[in-house]
Structure 1
Amino acid sequence: MSQMQNHPGEPAAWSFSEWTRGNNTAEYWRAATAIVLEYRINGDAAEIGLALHDRAVALGYAHIIMDSLSRQGDRTATIVFPLTERVTKEQYARLASVLMEELGQYRAASGNMAFTHLIHVDHLCDQLFVPGAVIAPKAKINETEKAYQNMDPRRFEAGGPAAAVHLVAPILTSHDGLFEWTPNASEIAQMDANALLASIGVDLTANGQLLSE
């Protein structure tokens, strides 16, 4: 809030990290006291904020839900998880990854897991603090040491989960459309065999009829 008072009418960049010279570049970064995860808004701003809030409540974590802005000035939603102690770059990266997995929320902002990531606020941004368990970094990292080993948290930067591939057996119909059925396993095997033999030039007919008929 003091930053906004110093720059009235301008968005202010917020960080929950400590810097040696007040510059948000990696060489000046010292430690973080919270994990900050920002999400792009598509439509109703309250919807994604509520989804983040509900999941954090279900997990039992203390958190802050905030209106925020991207660097381009687009409205975003941010969730902040306070920590019981300061964390290193490596601890920040692991905790950010784990928390993104636990939230399971898509449309994460690009660079969301970077320890140098800043959020932007203006006079229209509201904040809501929700009490709960404050995350103990070392305990959380130890607790999830064997979890999410093959995770790719950057997938949450997408607009949603990848569509599942559905393989549906073809529907066979008679010429007049009166009868429809899905071939059984035996019929599918026979059709596959016919197709394979035909592909190598084997004559599949006897007196003008397929051998399977």
Structure 2
Amino acid sequence: MAEPDDQSRQFKIIDMYIEEYRALRTEISDRVKNEFIIVGSNVTLTAVGVALLNVIHTHRVIVLFVIPLVSLIFGLLYLAQESSLAVAAQYLNKKVKPAVVSLLERKAGGGDSADASGIFGWEEFRAGKLYNVSQPWKALGGMSSFLGALPGLMVILISLGFVAFSPDFRDEFNGGEISLLIVDVAAYVLFGFSGCWLKDLYSGITS
């Protein structure tokens, strides 16, 4: 049985961990809100860029080239939020939860009745449902990193469709659009590898 001073110290430590848990949960909530803002801003600016293509008569190929790159910058911002979410979830599940469980069980004196492993279980439960799944679903989850850059990716795909099937489109840009779109595609392919990194981060919450 713990001495009163030891119990008081344990309570203070538990309170500190709970405050840290609350702070990180608040940070996670704020970052999720930031993701909505990033995606919304990306969609808006991409729509403005596409509308601009319809009203300008010079330098259209430059605008076509820049739209996906601007969208990609938003994608990188989105990825930064997602990676921070994963790291925070890992910390909560692997550092904060075990420490609090250990202190609570020590305070209760051990035994089956002192099992506190079920507390702070949301991160592990969510990760188990979303990321500890079959490989195809894991790959799909990794592709979520593209969500932040999806508007620009759609512009690239539509532009490639015009290049393939619209002679007027090719004649207007005189082949310049192909070189610039290749640069855009290469940038997005490199960005796509971030999906593997993000998938590993989320898988690490419970591994």
TM superposition score normalised by structure 1: 0.22
The structure in which a higher percent of residues are strand is 1
The structure in which a higher percent of residues are helix is 2
TM superposition score normalised by structure 2: 0.22
